Chain A
């Protein structure tokens, strides 16, 4: 049973205090919803959790060990889905997905299965430049499925997704949690996940 937690997290972006004394704790099988108005620091919190940024003060730990002690080990257990979809227009959909899954190492869902699970199984050979915003978003999300990562950090995952795909995503997250994974999701929409914690970030937007 792994524990992912953070205490007294302060973060300053551009001379503005975005987070002050934020705290969270998450165990295997648990999910955490990040809520708050625009500019409340949801994305910042996810980037801190991923280790892309360091908090000004406070610590984020995995099983009691500071994640900045061994960033590479932390990277191996997380999948981050950010605002930018990181889809290369010059590569086909499948090439995009398999590159990241191979880089993450084995352990996750097969690339074509993951594409099918998100409803774009028929687009595998299409050059990614022809994808719509929602389809690019789905390609981005397959990275979490194929990575085999324990911790999913999803930043507004339902942006540009249609209702059916948002539902499919919810059930995929549920399946991930049942198999002992964790998920932190920032969202304005109601995902309908059972038994989740919520962290509401204040912020003085």
Chain B
């Protein structure tokens, strides 16, 4: 059995047995979005205008919630040292961790999003584009988040520090994701925005596993 599938099965098994974490992320996502109609008033056009942005920001914050857990458990119980010392490339371990983080956080966020589109009165013609931006954007959150999670290992209040480090880096993702919806409404088509998001995803995929692996080696030294 390949190292990838051995690692993947273990991560998924652990995630499944602690599935409450996933539900909390989803709960936070839904509640954060639902608060907005109470805060700004339930006027349908207003909600439709701010809907995509609110949903994306809530998704960013929800993803941050679970980010610091990515390596924390393994760091605290000593598994991380052993993963660093295993004959398997640490970059592969990082990729598996990121993949499971996305499957347990990003994917549920995408699946919940249509419900929130309805609540925020998001126009039907941009639903598909917004879902596509989430499909391309949420893996970037997990990838960049892994760098922050590795760098803040061992720090007190690591979760807060992690958000301060990573959220500013995610601003471009937010801009082009929300811009994609506007582009469709203005009749320009969202192709450019989606391609830029795709580019960010590929860039993050190519670079972050190495950075994260290096940070993990430093964390256990």
Contact = CB atoms under 8 A, between A and B. Distances in A.
Query: Real complex partners, A and B?
Result: yes
Interface in B196-221: 220-221
Contacts of B79: 86, 88
Contacts of A80: 81-82, 85
Interface string B87-115: 11100000000000000000000000000
B86 interface: yes
Interface stretch (A2-10, A101-109, A177-185): A101-109
B78 interface: yes
Listed residue (A72, A91, A95, A103) with the most chain B CB atoms within 10 angstroms of its CB: A103
Interface residues of B, number: 25
Contacts, number: 66
Interface string B55-80: 00000000000000000011011110
A52 B81 contact: yes
A72 B84 CA distance: 9
A138 interface: no
Contact of A84 (B1, B10, B18, B81): B81
Nearest to B88: A103
Given A75-B87, A102-B1, A103-B3, A82 B81 contact: yes
A82 B77 CA distance: 11
A174 to B, nearest CB: 24
B86 A90 contact: no
Given A78-B85, A91-B14, A99 B78 contact: no
Contacts of A95: 10, 13
Contacts of A99: 6, 10
- The 7 A-B pairs of least Cβ separation, nearest first, read A84-B78, A76-B87, A86-B78, A86-B79, A90-B17, A102-B6, A53-B221
Interface of A: 50-54, 72, 75-76, 78, 80, 82-88, 90-91, 95, 99-100, 102-105, 143
